[in-house]
Amino acid sequence: MAGFELQDLFALLTAVAVVASILAVAMPFMEKDRLGERMHEVASERERIRKRERAMLNSGKEGRISLRQEPKELVVNIVDRFKMRDAFSDADTRRKLKQAGFRLEKHVMTFTFARIIGPFAGLLVSTFYIFVVIEPDYPPMVSLFFCMLFAYACYYAPLLYLSNLRSKRQASIIRAWPDALDLLLICVESGMTAETGFQKVAAEIGTSSVELAEELTILTAELSYLQDRRVAYENISNRTGLEGVRGVMTSLIQAERYGTPLGDAIRVMAEENRAARLTAAEKKAAALPPKLTVPMILFFLPAIFVVVLGPIAVQYLSSQ
């Protein structure tokens, strides 16, 4: 019986390894064209900016112009019924949503809706699973405590999801930002304007970072349609939340204000960002040996002991 169970374990591990290998090979082919989807979304964003600015120029009253996409009626009704429209949509939350790539009003409403419905859905699912499906032997109060704990986790799940997306997006942008500055420097020194340079960089950098290409395309649209160029530079700094991007945009604002050459400012900032990326890479490399200690002990050393001592153990057992 013990041998049969061991064989089942080996078969299960082999099946898991085969499935993981198939997924690892198939996942690159199953990925969607993220660049095409993002560029289509950015194109619609550019069209909204153009319509908004044209409407404001024609009317002269900014407060009456609103071309934001409206969220779904069900989401709005539930959020308004609980009077939570502004509970989770303060300035800090909206800033984090923008930094995660969610810039529309419907995204704010969806986030608020998820934080309202999440605890109730988690409590309902956990109660059904614990009291109906598994029916544990411990007291009902303990089961109720686990249900409440799961509901509490569902309440903070949207925050964790948002934080994870925000971190991934910022990591993608900061990884490709020095290369984008090098390309922008080449464009500016060849005689292109800032708008044309950002547009060219956005088209070229999309293969390395879709997120950065999206932000640069929006920046190009805002530089084309906004009356104050400083606002466009500040907007991309707020949307990314990265000090490297903020420093470059501050340099561009000062260069345009005082008439200094853009190429000199971009060259200095490109060198600083390359140095910062190299420093971050060196820091990760220095932290690698301590992180490898536990995996070495858990996975490599047992395999080495089996390879070295395995034949000796087999010969010893055969001689008995």
pLDDT band of residue 138 (cuts 50, 70, 90) is confident
How many Cβ atoms sit within 10 Å of the Cβ of residue 316?
Answer: 10
User: What's CA 215's distance to the chain center, in Å?
Assistant: 13
Out of 122-126, 172-176, 311-315, least confident range:
311-315
pLDDT of the residue at 160: 92
pLDDT of the residue at 2: 43
What residue spans define the domains of the chain?
Answer: 37-57+65-166, 171-281
| Burial class, 221, CB count within 10 angstroms (exposed 0-12 / middle 13-18 / buried 19+) | buried
- Give the 3-state secondary structure of residue 88: coil
How many Cβ atoms sit within 10 Å of the Cβ of residue 288?
Answer: 8
Closest CA to 112 of 82, 89, 92: 89
Assess contact for 146 and 123: CB atoms under 8 A: no
DSSP for 209-276 reads -HHHHHHHHHHHHHHHH-S-HHHHHHHHHHHH--HHHHHHHHHHHHHHHHT--HHHHHHHHHHHHHHH
Q: Per residue in 24-55, pLDDT tens?
A: 777 766 665 555 665 566 556 556 665 665 56
User: What's CA 165's distance to the chain center, in Å?
Assistant: 3
Q: Between 4 and 107, where is the model more confident?
A: 107
Q: Rounded to whole angstroms, how far apart are CA atoms 309 and 51?
A: 75
- pTM of the shown model: 0.68
